[in-house]
Amino acid sequence: MPFMAAGPDAAGALPDGGGGTTKLKVQPDKVLQLKRELEDVRDEVQTFLRNEAEGLKARPQGADPVSQDAAKAISENADTAIEVADAYVQRLTAVIDALDQAAKTYGLVEDTNTVDFRQRS
């Protein structure tokens, strides 16, 4: 498993969104893999929000009050979903940044660049 829940003294504490912290313990050889996977997820959610967020909102199907109220309720729910997804992207970015820092601490960035360079040669 590339990561697991860690005890209270573990490095890499991240805000949990509720005033506390969540801690991950990532095996050093899995840091870059996990970072790439989280970047892919973050990018996918960002792309969805950029391309589809406006389409989640409803437009009234008629001029009657029921259609107006239904469209308003659906749009409010869509706004909430968009806000939550945006917060998720921000949290993922914080985790990615922490993993990037861990990679630098472990000296993994240079190792990866060297391996990539050798593979391209």
DSSP string, 56-107: GS---SSSSHHHHHHHHHHHHHHHHHHHHHHHHHHHHHHHHHHHHHHHHHHT
Tokens representing 32 are 């870059």
Look up the pTM and report it: 0.68
What size, in residues, is the chain? 121
Residue 116 lies in a domain: no
Residue 10 lies in a domain: no
Residue 12 lies in a domain: no
Domain limits for position 53: 27-111
**Residue 47 maps to which CATH number?**
1.10.287
d(CA 39, CA 54): 23
Residue 22 lies in a domain: no
d(CA 46, CA 90): 10
Residuewise pLDDT in 10s, the chain (121 residues) = 344 444 444 444 455 555 566 777 878 888 899 999 999 999 999 999 999 999 999 999 999 999 999 999 999 999 999 999 999 999 999 999 999 998 888 887 655 555 555 556 5
Residue 92 lies in a domain: yes
* Domains held by the chain: number: 1
